[in-house]
Amino acid sequence: MAEEYLILHGWQNHRPDGHWQRWLARELETRGAVVRYPQLPGADEPVLDDWIEALETELRGTDPASLTVIAHSLGCLLWLAYAARRAARSAPGAAARRVILVAPAAPEVLQGIPEIAAFAPLLGGAAARAALAATTWERGTVIAGTDDPFCPAGADRVYARPLDLDFVPVEGGGHLTMDDGYGPFPLVLELATR
């Protein structure tokens, strides 16, 4: 069975040519993987319920044992919100083999931006860790710039350690966007395919 990937973009991302996510989708497809890279609804003014519905639609028909989810920025918070809702309804089984969270924005940053404040994590501490762990079969990974303005306290401290995820720092990577120089992003490809 082919490996499957679901790539989730962030706020105001209309999946432009040149973005590392589009590059990643092409690289994975050339290796024979099945790749889902949806345009989430209302990218400029996202509604959490609409994004969760779109995520659940994309997950239908996937094999959780072979699915890797790669989320960037607000897409990471989408996955965390999805995990919290799954936990609230005691959904059985994992939804994916693993998740790679790239440059998740900090809760206090989200709360300061009205268009995306609803994406701020609903769960914290042990509840968030358990909810996230229940969505995947394997331990997840956080990749983040050491100087990300959307997570000034550091993604290791805000997400990786509290959620018991592996952490891969990118020195001087900023928010890991095209503006930060991330078209091709071999590190994500390497982590996604191991």
Domain residue ranges of the chain, discontinuous segments joined by +? 4-192
User: Which residues, at least 6 apart from 143, have a Cβ–Cβ distance to it below 8 Å?
Assistant: 100, 101, 102, 103, 167, 168, 169, 170, 176, 187, 188, 191
- For residues 73-80, average pLDDT: 97
- The CA distance from 171 to 18, in Å, is 21
Give residue 64's Cα distance to chain centre: 16
Separation CA 72–CA 67 (nearest Å) = 16
* DSSP SS3 for 118: helix
pLDDT recorded at residue 14: 76
Mean pLDDT, rounded, for 23-41: 97
pLDDT in tens, 103-117: 999 999 999 999 999
Q: Is the CATH code 3.90.1150.10 the one for domain 4-192?
A: no
Mean pLDDT of 44-48: 96
pTM, rounded to two decimals: 0.95
